[in-house]
Every structure is written in structure tokens, then in C-alpha cells.
Amino acid sequence: MYDQAERLRQILKTNENSNRQTSTRKITDNTRVIAVSSGKGGVGKTNFTINLAISLSKLGYTVAVIDADIGLANIDVLLGLLPKENISSVLNKNKNILEIMTDGPDGVKIIAGGSGLYDILSLNAENLNYLISQLSQLEQLFDFVLIDTGAGISEVVMSFVSAADEAILITTPEPTSLTDVYALIKALRIRGSSCKLRLVVNRVENQREAIDVFEKLFIASKKFLNTSIENLGYIMNSKLVVEAVKNQNPFINLYPNSSISKNINSIAVKIIGSTNNNENKNSFTNFLNKFKDFFSKNDSE
């Protein structure tokens, strides 16, 4: 049986030899863009994204998080941050994207989107090319770029998820959550998206419940959508999450030895395990090309 705990210890031991240059030096040749999305709000998507980013950073990887939720951008709230700039500062003030980054926990960099993302919907070709050139700088600095999208199947959500080569879909065991995440998968496939889909089941009571939820969604997606999804892991239902939110401190830092922190670390290890896959070799370039294509079409319409 695959020993995730041992794998985690090996990775930590390897990265200790880098003079603790965590989040200051890119350690892979490839920059992986991973969209994190959900079929409905309130399932813990943003909380998951933040804690995953910190876990990856603790393992020695450089990580940036783009808050791409137009309506409910709240990464800054969960972290107790007050970003002075966001994406609109790049578009309207000619700010360099590196200037608008906010320092998050453990070296994670935060790029605030918020209302500034509305400006992307009406970009002309010149401004779109400028934004693409700014985003391209991230490839030289980060091993992982996590995009915290909005929930649902809006065009903006679809564009970010479709542009990424990898997507993590968050659901809970609730029937409404499962129905909505299935609708998201269906919408992505109708759109022609080929991104790799992985599922994380949040707020489960035990491992058996997580497996049951995954199997239901896997069978339905395979049978009716001809789509395979990967089981990335689960997060236990815990009051510690609520306490961490109240303290505006990610639970992986506030309660590092808790079951939920171990759940996040296991998921991070799985993600790292596929870092050198050939399928992800041009992840960032693919993302920029698909992102540009979508908004170019949007502008022409």
C-alpha cells in the first residue's frame, strides 16, 4: 500500500537541504496551473485552496494564489489581509503584476481579483495582450499557480477552469452539492474542456463516506458524460475549521497535527507526485493560450 506519510517525510527531508529557500526559489522546470472550483458556494473551496497552497509551500514549492471569484472574493478576509491593489490595478494603472501581490502565510503570494475581474470581460486586444504578458511573468517564479474560481457555471468560472490543464472540484456529501458539481462537470464537457478533473470531498464524517460520494459521482460521470474523474482525497468534518476562520489563520498552521491538516498534506503529496508527468509539461503556456482565446472570442462577440 502506498505510504503517504513516508512520502511526505521524504519530501520534507529533501527540501530541508535547500537552505530553507521555501517560496523564494522555483524548484521545478514546469509551472502547474490548477483551478479550484465547485458547483455551489459554501462548500469550503476557498478555505481548501488557501490551506493547500500553504501545504505545498511548506514542502518547498513556490506558490501563487489568484483570487478569481468575482462576486465573493474573500481570500483576504480568511487571511486577515488588506490588499492595496488587485487585477484592476494592472489593467487601469499599468501596474506590474508583481507589484500587486500580497504576502500570505508561509511565503504564499496572493493576487487579489475581486471587482477588478469585471474589467477582464471588456478588454480590447491591446489590454488583453498586456494582461497576458503580465501573467506570463508568473511562470519564472512559481511552481504552482492556484486559481480560486467562483462557484457555479458562469462564463468566467468556465473560462478559468477550461484554461487550466488541471482542476480540483470541491463537493460535500450533501445531495445538492453533488448535483451541482455534476452540473459543473457536464458544463465543462459540453464546452469542450479537456482539463483533468480531480475530486475532493469536504466535511465527511469518515473515509467510507468520502469513498461512497466519489464512487457515485465517478459512475454517473463515466456513464452519462463519458468522463473520468480522479479521487484526490477528502477533508474530515471538523469544528477546527470554524475556529481557524474566526481567527483568520489557516487551520494547517493553527492546528498542524489535526486530522484535517493531515488530509490536506496527503492531497498535496498526491499533487506533487504527478509534477513530472509529461501531460503537464506545458501547463502554463497552455493556460495562457486558452485564457487569451476565450477572452478574444468574448471581445469579438
Tens-digit pLDDT profile for residues 130-189: 889 999 999 999 999 999 988 888 877 888 899 999 999 999 999 999 999 999 999 999
Q: For residues 224 and 214, give the distance between their C-alpha atoms in angstroms, rounded to a whole number.
A: 15
151 and 157 Cβ atoms separated by less than 8 Å:
yes
pLDDT grade, residue 281 (50/70/90)?
Answer: low
Tens-digit pLDDT profile for residues 219-240: 999 999 999 999 999 999 999 9
Is the pLDDT score of 20 beyond 90? Answer: no
Residues whose CB is less than 8 angstroms from the CB of residue 260 and which lie 6 or more positions away in sequence, other chains included: 235, 236, 238, 240, 241, 251
Q: Which residue has the higher pLDDT, 11 or 248?
A: 248
What's the chain's average pLDDT? 86
CATH homologous superfamily for 27-300? P-loop containing nucleotide triphosphate hydrolases (3.40.50.300)
Is the pLDDT score of 251 beyond 90? Answer: yes
Is the pLDDT score of 276 beyond 50? Answer: no
| Least reliable range by pLDDT among 4-8, 129-133, 174-178, 280-284 | 4-8
Q: What is the pLDDT of residue 22?
A: 43
Q: For residues 199 and 6, give the distance between their C-alpha atoms in angstroms, rounded to a whole number.
A: 23
Give me the residue spans of the domains in the chain.
27-300
Q: Which residue has the higher pLDDT, 194 or 72?
A: 194
pLDDT grade, residue 24 (50/70/90)?
Answer: low
